[in-house]
Amino acid sequence: MEQRFVGRRYRRRVLVNRLMLILTVLATIISLVPLVLIIVYVAEQGIGSLSIDFLTHTFRPISFGNASTGGGVLHAIVGTVIIVGFSLLLAAPIGIMAGIYLSEYPGNSASTAIRFCVDVLSAMPSIVGGVTAYVLIVQRVKSFSGFAGSIALVVLMVPIITRTTEEILRLVPQSSREAAIALGAPKWRTTLTIVLPMALSGIATGVLLAFARAAGETAPLLVTVLGNNNLTYDLFGPMQALPLLAYRYTEQPYQVLNQQAWGAAFLLVVIVLGINILVRIFTRTRSPR
């Protein structure tokens, strides 16, 4: 009697155990499905629209006559490189130096305040940065510009770079710093010639991740850069960028442009996922050292 009761209870527990474990496996599979679907679909649609023309031409107006050829996205590639490159030039020094400050001078009230601001910035919706750049630059100058877009992206990149720099610098062994200081080197020399070179690859990783994040960002560009169908190198006028073009062409009723949007999306995914995968493989092989 007692034996049977325990047995039934035990069987129930084993059953619940098995059921829940199967559920977790199912949940993992369910979550991976969208990733696979999205990547497969983007690749399928994107590779089809890739061609030499696609990469080397700019927008070609669509008329009933030439509806089959819609030009290319060269202007968007150039725009993305210029806008994101310029914001990287601004964000990298700020982020790296702030990271150095946080890791080399920890534990005072200034670094607590700065770390708090970095946290707030990294959680801030990207559109808020876009709105700020819009008010500060677009409304003042009365013109949309790639420059305003760069400023909006700086807000996004600084916290990423600061945080990775700080984390990497903390991994540099304290003994290396002490060795340099014991030889009589001042702190700045220790930091610049001993600590920084040891952490260089990690800092580069942070900068690359920030680049990838900013390259895929659309919303802040929408309200600052606006978009442009022509190839332009003028940072102070409206420009085009890959994510922006993907969005605009998606909203168009023309099949040709929708197809080009997928091409642009494919380029973006290749750039962004490529950087992310490379960084992960790179840091993984290095970390056990």
Q: Is 262 in the site for another protein (CB under 8 A)?
A: yes
- The helix/strand/coil state of 226 is strand
Q: Is 280 in the site for another protein (CB under 8 A)?
A: yes
Q: Is 187 in the site for another protein (CB under 8 A)?
A: yes
Q: Which of residues 5-44 bind another protein (CB under 8 A)?
A: 13-14, 16-17, 20-21, 23-25, 27-28, 30-32, 34-35, 37-39, 41-42
Q: Is 67 in the site for another protein (CB under 8 A)?
A: no
Alpha helices in the chain, H assignment, sequence order? 2-49, 52-56, 74-104, 109-123, 126-133, 139-141, 146-171, 174-182, 187-189, 196-215, 219-222, 242-250, 255-286
Two tokens at 243? 């994510």
Q: Looking at residue 237, what DSSP letter applies?
A: S
Q: Choose one: 49-57, 79-87, 199-207, 220-228; the region binding another protein (CB under 8 A).
A: 220-228
Q: Choose one: 50-58, 60-68, 199-207, 271-279; the region binding another protein (CB under 8 A).
A: 271-279
Q: How far is the CB of 65 from another protein (least distance, A)?
A: 26
Two tokens at 16? 């619940």
Q: Is 235 in the site for another protein (CB under 8 A)?
A: no
CA distances from 164 to 36, 86, 155, 206 (A): 29, 20, 15, 5
- The helix/strand/coil state of 71 is strand
Which of these, 172, 150, 161, 174, lies nearest to 118 by C-alpha position? 161
Two tokens at 211? 């680049």
Interacting residue with another protein among 217, 240, 256, 260 (CB under 8 A) = 217
Interacting residue with another protein among 80, 126, 232, 260 (CB under 8 A) = 126
Distance CA(264)–CA(287), nearest Å, equals 34
Q: Which of residues 190-209 bind another protein (CB under 8 A)?
A: 191
Q: Choose one: 53-61, 66-74, 106-114, 194-202; the region binding another protein (CB under 8 A).
A: 106-114
Would you say 211 and 242 are in contact if contact means Cβ atoms under 8 Å apart? no
Interacting residue with another protein among 223, 239, 256, 257 (CB under 8 A) = 223
Of the pair 40, 66, the CB lying nearest another protein is at: 40
**How many amino acids of this chain bind another protein (CB under 8 A)?**
90
Q: How far is the CB of 139 from another protein (least distance, A)?
A: 7
Two tokens at 137? 């630059």
Q: Choose one: 65-73, 115-123, 199-207, 229-237; the region binding another protein (CB under 8 A).
A: 115-123
In the block, tokens 């102070």 appear at 236
Q: How far is the CB of 4 from another protein (least distance, A)?
A: 18
Distance CA(42)–CA(262), nearest Å, equals 7
Of the pair 8, 280, the CB lying nearest another protein is at: 280
Q: Is 81 in the site for another protein (CB under 8 A)?
A: no
Distance CA(82)–CA(225), nearest Å, equals 12
